[in-house]
Amino acid sequence: MRKELHHKGWNEIKTNDSWAIFKIMGEFVSGFEKMSKIGPCVSIFGSARTKPEDKYYKLTEQIAQNIVQAGYGVITGGGPGIMEAGNKGAHLGGGTSVGLNIELPFEQHDNPYIDHDKNLDFDYFFVRKVMFVKYAQGFVVMPGGFGTLDEFFEALTLIQTHKIGKFPIILVGTDFWKGLIDWIKQTLLNGFGNISPKDLDLIHLVDTPEEVTEILDGFYEESQLTPNF
pTM of the model: 0.90
Half-sphere exposure of 128 (CA within 13 A, CB side): 21
Tell me the domain boundaries of the chain.
38-220
pLDDT string in tens for the chain (229-residue length): 455 545 555 565 556 788 899 999 999 999 999 999 999 999 999 999 999 999 999 999 999 999 999 999 999 999 999 999 999 999 999 999 999 999 777 666 799 999 999 999 999 999 999 999 999 999 999 999 999 999 999 999 999 999 999 999 999 999 999 999 999 999 999 999 999 999 999 999 999 999 999 999 999 986 655 666 5
CATH of domain 38-220: 3.40.50.450
Integer Cα distance of 170 and 216 in angstroms: 9
Other Cβ atoms within 10 Å of 189 Cβ, number: 16
**Angle (nearest 5°) at CA 165 between 160 and 171:** 65
Between the two ends of the chain, the Cα-to-Cα distance in Å is 55
